[in-house]
Chain A
Amino acid sequence: MAERQDVTPDDQPLLVADHLGKNYGRLTACRDVSFALYPGEVLAIVGESGSGKSTLLQLLSAQLAPSAGRVSYRMRDGVLRDLASLGEAERRFLFRTDWGYVHQDPAQGLRMAVSAGANVGERLMAVGWNHYGQIRDTASTWLERVEIDTARIDDAPRTYSGGMRQRLQIARNLVTEPRLVFMDEPTGGLDVSVQARLLDLMRNLVSELGLAAIVVTHDLAVARLLSHRVMVMKGGRVIETGLTDQVLDDPREPYTQLLVSSILPA
């Protein structure tokens, strides 16, 4: 931990988005988005369906090429680099070591037919781990951390419940100790009690590991529980941004006020 903070001092941004935009033909999915994400910071991107949240996440994680602007990332050597200038090999290496990506549908982020242990171990083997015992020990440690019974290490995730799958996906992403995790609706499709448990787990992991995270969600409760800062999107633009409590308790924009007031009272 301390060692990693030396590499990236907290006062320097980890990820910088600079006037990002994306057009699909005449359709503007996302325009003029700028922000900086600092190490250990959790940023929530909220907005209704079609507001450009997912496009923005894909731009930030270099899965889509932006039509305008650029994304820069501070590599482990402390140099801020434009993601578009990275070669494919470098980008893919970044993706499976320094980054995590938690999909809404765990089937997209997991290998459903191979065991949980191998799912967690895959990233380790991809960076050259070559000792079965060590890989397995690390995998079972991570299963414990995400509260999955280690007796199920040899079961395939398709035998897991939705909540377990999502926790397994998180373990699989965190095993290489990434510095930045992207999450796309991580609690979507889970029932409320499972959501609560997952959120609790994620909040603990993020603070223990000092992770930076970008969480896309339409669920304001998720944003309130997990994030330090919130960006509200509408029609491809960021219309409001600020500290989570400030935005959710005292929204300025009429649209944000609508979003906040449309939560059903518990």
Chain B
Amino acid sequence: MNAPAYNFAYLDEQTKRMIRRAILKAIAIPGYQVPFASREMPMPYGWGTGGVQVTAAILGPQDVLKVIDQGSDDTTNAISIRKFFGKTAGVATATSTADATVIQTRHRIPEAPLHAGQVLVYQVPIPEPLRFLEPRETETRRMHALAEYGLMHVKLYEDIARFGHIATSYAYPVKVNARYVMDPSPTPKFDNPKMDNCAALQLFGAGREKRIYAIPPHTDVVSLDFKDHPFTRYRFDAPCALCGAGDSYLDEIVTDDKGGRMFVCSDTDYCEARQHAGHRGSESAAPHKERAHG
């Protein structure tokens, strides 16, 4: 008999049951941080131990897994997590957003709209939105319980007082289902509107902090703001240099030490799909040259 070296998806079944219970509770109370007995994973904290545990708990043999790190399918973190589950669960992996059933992500939400049946798993470093405002964890839990969220606006007030606008550009606090204030993990605030009324299930895992929270499909997610300083998305004012997209979130890439730079889509799958469809940006290689390298 060919006994596998690991249980399916690395974690043992009892651990997965425990995590699933936490996930179910998180889905039942949208935005509420559910404590769970986070395990040591074969990777350092900060590399997605929370996300990996959530993914391991929900993954089935039929699932297709996509992993992105800062929107990219081919960075170290994304590749090693994809390989990890390829090896320990034997699931199919993909880079296409539309084909994947489970998408583990760090710092981005894919540009292509998610559809029903998909699960987006976020890696979360700091689940507590009030962390740097109120140092006592006992107190922040009480504030969540009593829905005392004035302090969250203090942070936004400080931004406007200092910079003239709400300068928080990532981990922008949101209110889920008109109840819990939640940290959407360090995604850029550009992605916040995508969480609202999303067709896919969104799960958040924080391994070091031992917390899981969730946004069920089609839940109201509102970014906090002031009446006279409403929430605004932010993106560099440029088209993607590779695919010419004018609506995607862009990475700034420094190309030399003389101030040269280019802006390209942070979502590599979105960018490649557009290039295949024939879209071109200012820096695209000419099609015949690509063919010459063939």
- Would A118 and B150 count as touching, CB distance under 8 A? no
- Would B161 and A154 count as touching, CB distance under 8 A? yes
A146 to B133, CA, bound (A): 25
Task: Give the residue of A118, A130, A154 whose beta carbon is less than 8 angstroms from that of B226.
Answer: A130
A122 to B120, CA, bound (A): 35
- Would A131 and B226 count as touching, CB distance under 8 A? yes
Give B151's nearest chain A residue, CB to CB.
A122
- Would A115 and B229 count as touching, CB distance under 8 A? no
B residues adjacent to A (C-beta < 8 A): 133, 142, 146, 148, 150-151, 153-154, 157-158, 160-162, 226-229
A115 to B155, CA, bound (A): 10
- Would B158 and A127 count as touching, CB distance under 8 A? no
Task: Give the residue of A88, A124, A126, A131 whose beta carbon is less than 8 angstroms from that of B228.
Answer: A131
- Would A122 and B154 count as touching, CB distance under 8 A? yes
| A74 contacts chain B at the CB level, 8 A cutoff | no
Task: Give the residue of A114, A118, A130 whose beta carbon is less than 8 angstroms from that of B227.
Answer: A130
- Would B148 and A118 count as touching, CB distance under 8 A? no
29 CB < 8 A contacts A-B:
A88-B146, A89-B146, A111-B154, A114-B133, A114-B154, A115-B158, A115-B161, A115-B162, A117-B161, A118-B157, A118-B161, A121-B157, A122-B150, A124-B150, A125-B153, A125-B157, A126-B148, A126-B150, A126-B151, A127-B150, A131-B227, A131-B228, A132-B160, A132-B226, A132-B227, A133-B228, A135-B157, A153-B161, A154-B161
Residue numbers in A under 8 Å from B151 (CB-CB):
122, 125-126
Interface residues of A in 121-173 (CB under 8 A from B): 121-127, 130-133, 135-136, 153-154
A117 to B160, CA, bound (A): 11
Residue numbers in A under 8 Å from B162 (CB-CB):
115, 154
- Would A121 and B227 count as touching, CB distance under 8 A? no
Interface residues on A, range: 20 to 34
A115 to B162, CA, bound (A): 9
Residue-wise, chain A 108-121 has the 8 Å CB interface mask toward B (1 for contact) of 00010011011001
Residue numbers in B under 8 Å from A135 (CB-CB):
157
| A81 contacts chain B at the CB level, 8 A cutoff | no
| A76 contacts chain B at the CB level, 8 A cutoff | no
| A203 contacts chain B at the CB level, 8 A cutoff | no
- Interface of chain A, helix or strand or loop or mixed? helix
- Within the complex, the shortest CB–CB distance from B229 to chain A, in Å, comes to 5
- Would A132 and B146 count as touching, CB distance under 8 A? no
Residue numbers in A under 8 Å from B158 (CB-CB):
114-115, 118
Give A92's nearest chain B residue, CB to CB.
B146
- Within the complex, the shortest CB–CB distance from B17 to chain A, in Å, comes to 34
A129 to B59, CA, bound (A): 44
Residue-wise, chain A 71-102 has the 8 Å CB interface mask toward B (1 for contact) of 00000000000000000110010000000000
Residue numbers in A under 8 Å from B154 (CB-CB):
111, 114, 118, 121-122, 125
- Would A132 and B150 count as touching, CB distance under 8 A? no
A115 to B156, CA, bound (A): 12
A118 to B227, CA, bound (A): 17
- Within the complex, the shortest CB–CB distance from B154 to chain A, in Å, comes to 5
A133 to B142, CA, bound (A): 29
A125 to B229, CA, bound (A): 14
A115 to B159, CA, bound (A): 10
- Within the complex, the shortest CB–CB distance from B79 to chain A, in Å, comes to 40
CB-CB nearest 10 A-B residue pairs = A126-B150, A125-B153, A125-B150, A132-B226, A131-B227, A118-B157, A118-B154, A89-B146, A154-B161, A133-B228
A121 to B153, CA, bound (A): 9
Residue numbers in A under 8 Å from B133 (CB-CB):
111, 114
Residue numbers in B under 8 Å from A118 (CB-CB):
154, 157-158, 161
Known: A125-B157, A126-B148, A153-B161. 20 other contacts (CB 8 A): A92-B146, A111-B154, A114-B133, A114-B158, A115-B158, A115-B161, A115-B162, A118-B154, A121-B154, A122-B151, A122-B154, A125-B151, A125-B153, A127-B150, A131-B227, A132-B157, A132-B160, A132-B226, A132-B229, A136-B157
A266 to B181, CA, bound (A): 56
A154 to B229, CA, bound (A): 18
A118 to B155, CA, bound (A): 8
Interface residues of A in 176-224 (CB under 8 A from B): none
Give A131's nearest chain B residue, CB to CB.
B227
- Would B150 and A123 count as touching, CB distance under 8 A? yes
Residue numbers in B under 8 Å from A92 (CB-CB):
146, 148
- Within the complex, the shortest CB–CB distance from A132 to chain B, in Å, comes to 4
Interface centre among B133, B142, B158, B227 (most CB of A within 10 A): B158
A88 to B146, CA, bound (A): 9
Residue numbers in A under 8 Å from B161 (CB-CB):
115, 117-118, 136, 153-154
A132 to B153, CA, bound (A): 9
Residue numbers in B under 8 Å from A131 (CB-CB):
226-228
